[in-house]
Amino acid sequence: MRYKDKLTALLLVAGVLFVIYVLTFVLSPENIARRNSQWTPLDAKSIEAAGVIELRGGAASHLEKTGGAWRVMYEGKSYPAKQSRIEDLFSALTRKADYPVRASTGEAYEKLGVDEGASDKITVKDDNKKVLVELFFGVTDATGNIYIRSAAEKEVRSGTDIFSAFISGTHKNWFDLSLFPEHDSAGFTTESVQQIIVNPPVNSGGVSYTLIRAGDGWKFQSSENAVKSSVEPAVRYILDASGEDFIPADSVLNAVFGAENGSVIVENGDGRRFTLSLGPKVDDKQTVKVSGSEYIYALSDWTFGRIWQNKDAFVEK
């Protein structure tokens, strides 16, 4: 057989094999169904344009992006939001995963719980209130998968439930309740803090004391050594502490914070400092203000006890 004939035969065989491959793998009903079941609710390119998030589930939550940061809007006021939680939400919305189509009729919407009036919902809009994505969440099936419908599509899909964690809570789940959320960027770290002044409430029976960094350790203002292994975790806890809730300012009108109610002053090596000032109790919760912040926080008893520790906790035994 001549070379040209051999080449023609080889090309013919290769073409036949290619057709068989396409028919078997690319165009097989199973592979077509698998590709069609891959679904992404929100295009990742839309995240930058997002300006409003509305959630309807355990309770309604409304968030808006202001000055590059997300805020929780509640009872006419704006509160800081957990940026990491919002990043997790967008990660879930832009995740491509297996969500096969299960139905596409209005009758199925109601049966599966994805009709507009009855279902839980996540809506993302841009700054001009244009809807970027609107998802309705229905019941779960026997395997735990949840039914989902996008308002932009007629199909009802089902898949792994990665969204209930975002819609089942309340607005409080979105609050960033860190007493000092930017301590790292502000240069306050466990290593940089040089002094802590603790003034307990006058009626607590405790005594005021000052802890001062001394070389590799800590001492009291009286020069008595303090237990380093107890002081440094306490410093770290103060920097990372969070409240339980925000307290409306009108709940503590004319209230005195600090002074006889107690305070903690944390001072950095460069002389900068911030102060936690205790106020009155509201609904049996201790309130506190942080210097430089407009917010008033409610503290749990456990958090209060960790910040305002008795001097004995740091005395060498």
158-179 pLDDT, tens digit per residue, is 999 999 999 988 999 999 999 9
> Is residue 263 situated within a structural domain?
yes
pLDDT tens for residues 226-259? 999 999 999 999 999 999 999 998 888 888 898 8
Same domain, 201 and 127: no
Share of the chain above pLDDT 90, in %: 70
151, part of any domain: yes
In a domain, 165, yes or no: yes
Look at the chain and report how many structural domains it folds into: 2
Within this chain, do residues 247 and 274 fall inside the same structural domain, yes or no? Answer: yes
Do 163 and 272 belong together in one domain?
A: no
pLDDT of residue 146: 95
Considering the domain architecture, whether residues 63 and 125 belong to the same structural domain is answered as yes
* Same domain for 261 and 165: no
Structural domain includes residue 18: no
Q: Is residue 25 part of a domain?
A: no
Please write down the HEC assignment for all residues of the chain: CCHHHHHHHHHHHHHHHHHHHHHHHHCCHHHHHHHHHEECCCCHHHHHHEEEEEEECCCCEEEEEECCEEEEEECCEEEEECHHHHHHHHHHHCCCEECCEEECCHHHHHHHCCCCCCCEEEEEEECCCCEEEEEEEEEECCCCCEEEEECCCCCEEEECCCCHHHHCCCHHHHECCECCCCCCCCCCCCCCEEEEEEECCHHHCCCCEEEEEECCEEEECCCCEECHHHHHHHHHHHHHCECCEECCHHHHCCCCCCHHHCEEEEEECCCCEEEEEEEEEECCEEEEEECCCCCEEEECHHHHHHHCCCHHHHECC
Same-domain pairing of 259 and 149: no
Q: How high is the pLDDT of residue 202?
A: 85
Of 140, 174, 208, the domain-final residue: 174
Decide which of 4 and 107 is more confident.
107
Q: What is the per-residue pLDDT across 249-303, written as a single tens digit (0 to 9) for each?
A: 888 888 889 888 999 999 998 999 999 999 999 999 999 999 999 999 999 999 9
Q: Which pLDDT score, from 0 to 100, does residue 214 have?
A: 94
Tens of pLDDT, residues 180-220: 987 766 788 999 999 999 999 988 888 999 999 999 999 99
Average pLDDT, the chain: 88
What average pLDDT does the segment 93-115 reach?
93
- Give the model's confidence band at 134: pLDDT under 50 very low, under 70 low, under 90 confident, else very high: very high
Residues 167 and 202 in one domain: no
Domain extent for 97 = 42-174
10 belongs to a structural domain: no
- Residue 28: pLDDT over 60: no
pLDDT band at residue 33 under the 50/70/90 scheme: very low
> Same domain for 144 and 77?
yes
| Residue 205: per-residue pLDDT | 85
From 142, 174, 206, give the residue that closes a domain.
Answer: 174
Is there a domain that residue 32 lies in?
A: no
> Which of 174, 209, 243 is at the close of a domain?
174
pLDDT digits (tens, 9 = 90+) for 46-78: 999 999 999 998 788 999 999 999 999 998 999
Residue 124 shares a structural domain with residue 245: no
pLDDT for residue 21 is more than 70: no
Per-residue pLDDT for 32 more than 50? no
Model confidence at 27, pLDDT cuts 50, 70, 90, reads: very low
What does the pLDDT average to over 80-100?
96
Q: Is 121 a residue whose pLDDT tops 60? A: yes
With cut-offs at 50, 70 and 90, classify the pLDDT of residue 25.
very low
pLDDT at 13 over 80: no
In a domain, 7, yes or no: no
Same domain assignment for residues 204 and 166? no
- Does one domain contain both 216 and 119? no
Residues 83 and 134 in one domain: yes
